Amino acid sequence: MAVKETRERTVSHPARTSLVDRFSVVLIAVAAMLWASDTYFRARLVGHLKPAQIVVIEDALVSLFLLAFLLRGIPELRRLDRRGWLAVGLIAIGPQAIATLLFTTSFSYGHYAETFVLQQTQPLIAILLAWLILGERRRTWFWPTAALAIVGVYMVVFAQNLTAPFSDLQHGRLEAGLYALGAAALWASGTVLGRFVLGKLSFTTTTALRFTLALPVLIVVALLQYGGSAFANYQPSDVLPFVGIALIPGFIALLLYYRALRSTPATLATIAELAYPVTATFIASAPPPYGFNQPLYLPQFIGTGLLIAVILILNYTKDRTPPVVVEEDAAA
């Protein structure tokens, strides 16, 4: 009779000489900073377009930019087994299609406190999924470090009133919060599933599949929601925001992200991704038309310093203290 045995091993990597591999945690944070430019572009579209109308055009443009990578990566698809295809499909449907719709919908409510505070659940969800799916176990010192990063981000986002999210969530703004929480959970799964897929595909093919497979889903969602008016209401002035949102937080950021994720444990990557809400907050402080002229406060600089310190620490220790991976094998 076969009996399951749990065995632990420390992840070991071959010697790396690439600067991208050496500074992969930092580069994931840079990619997350590029994602934050999404706020600038999306704010110019939400006034007259519905979330699905924005996301479907965004995804179509990025898919077009990535077409050459997709065609070049077709031979790689033979490496994917059933689990690999399932992971790719889930990334396209969940983190790319549905999560983007949920976040855009939450953002359109204008209750930014709910959107950003619930987004901070993303690393916690990702760490749990990395444990369940990838078997990653972090050492004890990681937990206070991760907590410090989350505290730092909280200080940045809610510097004016540290209790604002709790009072906002209690005053009838449940829908915006639920949409944000759903987006956070799906994006967390994308980090973990992406790490899994990168064991089989190149980062360029992974990025191209994420957007290309999501496009039919988004088109169907738009048609089901709005019928014949799904592709109406677009204006000539939308061209630049759409190109910007597709090029910077889409094409460039996701290619950089998946390249860096290839050599970064998911549990570290999800902490580096906290650079997104921090950067979005500072973008909002810029004067119009680049931001919303929101004031800056001392806790925001302190919180930013904490997050930067944590990211640098995690990057430094990434190869020196890799995660323990738990594997289950059947033994006779």
Mean pLDDT of residues grouped by 10 in the chain (332 residues)?
43 60 94 88 82 90 95 93 93 88 75 63 88 84 90 84 62 69 89 92 94 92 85 89 94 95 92 89 78 82 94 87 50 40
| pLDDT score recorded for residue 10 | 47
Which DSSP string do the residues of 128-193 spell out, in sequence order?
A: HHIIIII-EE--TTHHHHHHHHHHHHHHHHTSS-TTHHHHHHTTT-HHHHHHHHHHHHHHHHHHHH
Q: How remote is the C-alpha of 72 from its chain's centroid?
A: 25
User: Is it true that the peptide bond before 289 is cis, omega within 30 degrees of 0?
Assistant: yes
Interatomic CA distance for residues 120 and 151, integer angstroms: 10
| pLDDT score recorded for residue 331 | 40
SS3 at position 4 = strand
Q: How remote is the C-alpha of 316 from its chain's centroid?
A: 22
| pLDDT score recorded for residue 5 | 42
Query: What predicted TM-score, i.e. pTM, was given to this entire model?
Result: 0.84
- Number of domains observed in the structure of the chain: 1
Boundaries of domain holding 16:
3-331
Both tokens assigned to 1: 């009779």
